[in-house]
Amino acid sequence: GDSVTQMEGPVTLSEEAFLTINCTYTATGYPSLFWYVQYPGEGLQLLLKATKADDKGSNKGFEATYRKETTSFHLEKGSVQVSDSAVYFCALNRVTGGGNKLTFGTGTQLKVEL
Amino acid sequence: NAGVTQTPKFRILKIGQSMTLQCTQDMNHNYMYWYRQDPGMGLKLIYYSVGAGITDKGEVPNGYNVSRSTTEDFPLRLELAAPSQTSVYFCASRPTGSNQPQHFGDGTRLSIL
């Protein structure tokens, strides 16, 4: 079945540092890939998505490229801010007859310090 | 536009008690979902619905029930609370369309003691 593997956290960075959060997946066919972000005490919010191989999703300075050859969807940001501190979830979206099925990674906590 | 609203935000139950977690959305989305989030485990799908009157089991449905009498509401029922059901519960909805993202509520933190 489908699965998503994320790097374990927490990841602690200084403000303005470069961020990479690794995400790899196992799936057949051509699922879509999403990154969600969860701020403390809140629900998950969609950060970006990519629907086919070689697509690059981007939002708020974050970006991720759908790499089918390496089954990866790594999240990157060139310069993080304290306000980026949150938990980041990689997710695989599969279209099924009964509605889309999202398979989540375990989440990676990011802490950004001054 | 409120989006997905969950109530209550926090609740403590005793073993064997029952309760209903409420979820309502004002976006006229057909699809709705219930997840539980356990520490270090990501989100697991409990139940989902593709429209009013239609529900189906997800990965971890045991101990839960749902109903979908209207498009807006998708309550989750725990009949006999057990400590293993201590978790954070998230409701989500999404519009029709193959790659439309799910919109999440802020969650209900439930402790069973």
Percent of chain B with pLDDT over 70: 99
Q: Which residue among B42, B92, B107 sits closest to A89, beta carbon to beta carbon?
A: B42
Residue A46 φ then ψ, to 5°: -65, 130
CB-based contact B104 A98, cutoff 8 Å: no
d(CA B79, CA A64): 42
Q: Which residue among B40, B98, B106 sits closest to A106, beta carbon to beta carbon?
A: B40
pLDDT, averaged across chain A: 92
Residue A64: per-residue pLDDT: 98
CB-based contact B50 A42, cutoff 8 Å: no
d(CA B61, CA B56): 9
CB-based contact B98 A95, cutoff 8 Å: yes
d(CA B31, CA A114): 41
Residue A90: per-residue pLDDT: 96
Quick: pLDDT tens for A75-100: 999 999 999 999 999 999 887 766 67
Quick: pLDDT tens for B55-68: 999 999 999 999 99
CA angle B102-A31-B42, nearest 5°? 55
